[in-house]
Amino acid sequence: LIGIAVHFLAGYLFGSIPFGLIFTRMAGLGDIRAIGSKNIGATNVLRTGRKDIAFATLLADMLKGTFAVLLAAYIAGDPHTSVLEKNLGELITGFGAFIGHVFPVWLRFRGGKGVATYIGVLLGFFWPAALAFGAIWLFTAFVSRYSSLSALVAAVLTPVVLYFMTNVQAAGFFAIMSLILIIKHHANISRLLAGTETKIGKSAAPVG
Ligand code: G3P
């Protein structure tokens, strides 16, 4: 039980670093939580018009998840040969990183929606599934131009991909993360249904 708590907390610490907030502040863009959708993620950072800062946010929010999982694997001495050898510690650390991003104690538990960190954790855990997530996201974004819809479609399909390509344990962990991701997108879902969701790269965004 202590092992589970240590893995979760270690992942949480990495995941809770709000890179979108830090980078936009450093770039003198003000508080990202007052702009567009008010989210701290890369999609909203892009609404400031700064593609470079949005890209840096995407990369950093992703890689903190990847790093946490790989660190857990390294410490456990996991040679990363087969996904079936991956231990529970990696899943719990990745889960902690995702939760840290979505509910960071530093921001009174009001964090991001978890998309980038979800991909990053997947990348560290089983990279082909991260590629699948990315491909589904890109395809949906290409067709719809909605970042939120793309993330929602990818989040629904990824646990299914994991179920067939890895095991039920991994699929279960990511299914829980998908559920949290979907709930965090509730305002986006309402806007999508109302036809008022902002498309990718458009600077004017509805409040919420
Ligand atoms: O990654 C978050 C994205 O799916 C939606 O972001 O800012 O449009 O709420 P946003």
Measure the CA angle with vertex 56, ends 54 and 60; round to 5°: 120
Q: Which atom of ligand 1 is nearest to the CA of 38?
A: 7
Q: Does the C-beta of 140 come closer than 6 Å to ligand 1?
A: no
Q: What is the pLDDT of residue 155?
A: 98
State in Å: Cα 158 to ligand 1 middle.
18
Q: What is the ipTM of this complex?
A: 0.94
- pLDDT tens for residues 82-109? 454 457 889 999 999 999 999 999 999 9
The number of residues making up the chain comes to: 208
Contacts of 98 (CB under 8 A, 6+ apart): 11, 15, 65, 114, 117, 118, 121, 177, 180
Could you read off the pLDDT of 6-63 as tens digits, one per residue? Answer: 999 999 999 999 999 999 999 999 999 999 999 999 999 999 999 999 999 999 999 9
The predicted-structure confidence for 162-192, as pLDDT tens digits, reads as follows: 999 999 999 999 999 999 999 999 999 999 9
Beta strands in 136-198 (DSSP E): none
- The more confident residue out of 73 and 124 is 124
167 within 8 A of 84, measured Cβ to Cβ: yes
Residue 81 Cα to ligand 1 middle (Å) = 34
Cα 42 from Cα 64, distance rounded (Å): 14
Contact 144, 195 (CB under 8 A): no
To 10 degrees, the CA torsion angle through 47, 48, 54, 57?
Answer: -110
- Give the Å distance between the CA of 116 and the centre of ligand 1: 10
If DSSP codes are grouped into helix, strand and coil, which group holds residue 104?
coil
Q: Which atom of ligand 1 is nearest to the CA of 44?
A: 7
The answer to whether 116 and 42 are in contact (CB under 8 A) is yes
